[in-house]
Structures are given as C-alpha cells and as structure tokens.
Amino acid sequence: MSKVAIIGAGYVGLTTAACLASLGHDVTGADIDADRVARLNRGEIPILEDGLPELVADGIAGRRLRFVVGAVTAVGNADFVFLCVPTPQADDGSADLGFVEAAVREIAPKLRPGTVVINKSTVPVGTTRIVKRILSDAGATDRIYVASNPEFLREGVAVSDFLHPNRVVIGCEDPEAAVRVSDLYRNVDAPILVTDAASAEMIKYASNAFLATKISFINAIAGLCEAVDADVREVALGMGYDTRIGFEFLHPGPGYGGSCFPKDTAALLHTARSSGFDFSLLQGVIDVNRRQHERMVEKIRNLAGGDLDGATIAVWGLTFKAKTDDLRDSPALYITDHLMAEGAKVRAYEPAEEAAARAATMQPGLEIVSDAYEAVAGASVLGVLTEWDEFRWVDFERVKAGMTAPNVVDTRNLLDPTALRRRGFTYVGVGR
C-alpha cells in the first residue's frame, strides 16, 4: 500500500483518487475548491460519472480515501503526488501550464525525499523537465523524482476506463522511480509501457489527435455522402470491418467537442508550429471540425425555411456528448449560440440537470425547460444535439403535435429516419 496525494479533484483527479483507493492505496485528494472538498467528504459527487459515487463512498468508509483543501495539506507524507490540475488552452493555442506550475511551486517545500511527482494532466513535451526545474528552484530536495503518466479515460465511463485501460504509459528517466510508479497499477490488468518522459507526453497528444482525425475524416466522408447520395452509416460499417480501421470513432456528428480534443489538437499544432514542423494534416482536422459545427447550424436554418430570425428552435441535449454533465467546448453550445445570434428563440432540454442550469448562466437568452415535450412546443425545427438514449424513446406523435412544423435535424444520427418520415416528419441526419 502506497501513500498517494492527488492534486485536483476534477474528472481525472477524482477518478484517479477513488480508483487508486479501490486498488488498496492510501489516498488523499486535494482541491482548492473548499466547497467541492466539503461535498466530497460528505460523499457527494460533484460530477456525473458512472460508478464513482460507490467507489468514493467505499474509500471514505474504509479510511483509504479523504479530501483536503489545498495541495500543501495533502503531500507531506506522500510517496507519490499526482498532478491532475487543468491545462486549458491559452490564447495562442498552446497548453497553459499555469495551474501545473503553481501547484508544483506550492508543494515543493513540503515534499519528502523519495517522493515521485507524477504528471497526469495533459502537458506538452518538455513539461516533466519544467516540473523538475521548478522543484529545484523552489528548494525541494534533490531526491524528488518526476514522471509522466498520461491519462486516457473518457468522461462518462471514467471509472471503467481507469480500472480497465488499454495501456498504462509511464515516462520517467529514473528506472527505479518508473518501477515504483508501475507498481501502483499492479492490480490493473493492462500492458504497461515504460518510456522516456518526452515520448510519454507525446503519446497522449498523438492519441487524442489521432482520434480527432478519425472523427474529422468520417465527418468529411459524411459531407461527401450527402453530395453523392450514399449513406455514411453503411460506409462506416463497411470500413470498420477492416480490423486495421476498426469501428470506433467513426460516428459522424456535429464535430468533436469536450474539454480535451479541441484544446489538445490546438496545443499539438502549437508545438508543431513552434518546432518549425508543418502539420497541415492536423490543421485540416481542426478546420473540418469547425466547419462541421457550422454545417449543423446550416441544416437547422435550411429546415427553418432559410431564415432563423424570429424562428423558434427546440434542441435536445447540451453537453458535449451523452452520459456526461460536461459542457466544456460543447458543439451543442456552439450551435445554440449561433442560432440565437441569427435571431432564433432557442428552447433546450438537457437530461443532466446541473449541466442545464449551468448552460442557462453561460448563454443568457437560452431557455431551459425540464422535458423533451416542453422544448418542442411551438418550435418549427427540433435539433437533436447529443446522443442521450432517452431521446430515442420519446413519443414522436406528441412531439409532432406540439411543433408548428414537423422538422428534425438529427446531428447524432440517433433516431430512425424511416419511422419518423412515416409519421410525417422531415428528417435530416448527417451523411445519410
């Protein structure tokens, strides 16, 4: 059993804390948000993650997990310190390391010899070196090790991804420290790749950028399918049977969003530019994605008769994908923002209640209602913006009765076009 401190109790930090506690380690999670810490110690989970409430409750009850305010409070006795703080996008596209650097400066004087500081935040190549330098500048003992251990979990299935990962990547120049970090994962059944820090940092960005590339590729194929009257769903199926291509991340949609793909592709492009490397492929991926958001607005405008001014538009789903409450860089919010900018009145239903409340404060003018039928009342177009399963099981006769015209833009290809058309709807999907 190792003593582990986790700095940052967000999607990654909280999942890491709860999962490492469930693997038998003694874990202290720290956050600067005192309210969040108080809620966590009461067993209240501030984010929507399957299985997380149970793991946190087990950890607290078994005295293997606790939460404290401030990084300094957590690290004094730690053998390992995980940095799980935000690395948001800076104005120039690069990853802003401000939170990482501040956390390292804060904890440096408190670390005891032998501690391994592990970067789990997504950080550009070279950050492990920066962390080492800050530690020594801030007076930490020279027997502190630094490792990179990027995280590959997806929101919504974070616990399952953490406990059953495809791989664990550890980047560390010191072999003994690398073995100690890999030992934290001894009860996780996954290949462990130990490599140098720069490669570990690059693996994270390359993985996210590759997945984003698959999505932009299929979205571009979807656009082409619309032009030549093919069905992208059949195309993706036919491609996916080739195991070299695979079925995953070939679902066309409104473009990727979320707290990571947009910022991580921008950061990797920034790294390429500042290294003098022409990564036009990645620029293309980002451009296709932005264009895909715009195409969804165009589809809704077209069904509204070519002019959104004064139109009432209903939307279902505001989060960046289903099964999460995360609104960061959500394509849905891009779409509602642009609909309203063109004069539409937008009424939204979002199943994750807390996310719905936050969306209302982020976009004044966006009307939030508490069910799918209320959203469509008086609307001339319904936009399905995330793929929450409950949208499939709505009574579409009732939807039709509530709308001024039965028009649906299904940006996720979630619904059955044949069934809807039979009911008299005009249905527009993506690439079909």
CB of 318 to ligand NAD, least distance (A): 17
d(CA 247, CA 182): 31
Contact 109, 138 (CB under 8 A): yes
Alpha helices in 30-167 (DSSP H): 34-41, 52-61, 71-75, 98-107, 127-137, 158-163
Which residue in the set 22, 28, 94, 122 belongs to the binding site for ligand NAD (CB under 6 A)? 122
Binding mask 15-44 for ligand NAD (x = CB under 6 A): ---------------xxxx--x--------
| Residue closer to ligand NAD (CB basis): 107 or 172 | 107
Which residue in the set 20, 55, 75, 84 belongs to the binding site for ligand NAD (CB under 6 A)? 84
Binding mask 184-223 for ligand UGA (x = CB under 6 A): ------------------------x--x---x--------
Residue 236's closest CA among 261, 253, 258, 256? 253
Q: Residue 9's binding partner, choosing from ligand UGA, ligand NAD, none, with beta-carbon cut-off 5 to 8 A by kind?
A: ligand NAD
Cα dihedral across residues 29, 35, 39, 42: positive or negative: positive
Residues catalogued as catalytic = 260
d(CA 341, CA 28): 46
Q: Which amino acid appears at position 183 of this protein?
A: D
Helical axes 331-341 vs 280-303, angle rounded to 10°: 50
Residues in the chain: 432
Q: What are phi and psi of 189, to 5 degrees?
A: -90, 90
Which residue in the set 4, 11, 219, 425 belongs to the binding site for ligand NAD (CB under 6 A)? 11
Under the binding rule (CB under 6 A), the answer on residue 149 touching ligand NAD is: no
d(CA 48, CA 273): 36
Q: Residue 185's binding partner, choosing from ligand NAD, ligand UGA, none, with beta-carbon cut-off 5 to 8 A by kind?
A: none
Please give the residues from 117 up to 156 whose contact with ligand UGA meets the rule CB under 6 A: 122, 151-155
Under the binding rule (CB under 6 A), the answer on residue 251 touching ligand UGA is: yes
Which residue in the set 102, 138, 188, 360 belongs to the binding site for ligand NAD (CB under 6 A)? 102
| Residue closer to ligand UGA (CB basis): 154 or 345 | 154
Contact 319, 332 (CB under 8 A): yes
- H-helix or E-strand spanning residue 384: strand 381-384
| Residue closer to ligand UGA (CB basis): 28 or 122 | 122
The contact set with ligand UGA (CB under 6 A) reads 122, 151-155, 208, 211, 215, 249-251, 253, 256-261, 320-321
The contact set with ligand NAD (CB under 6 A) reads 7-13, 30-33, 36, 71, 84-87, 99, 102-103, 106, 121-122, 151, 153, 155, 259-260
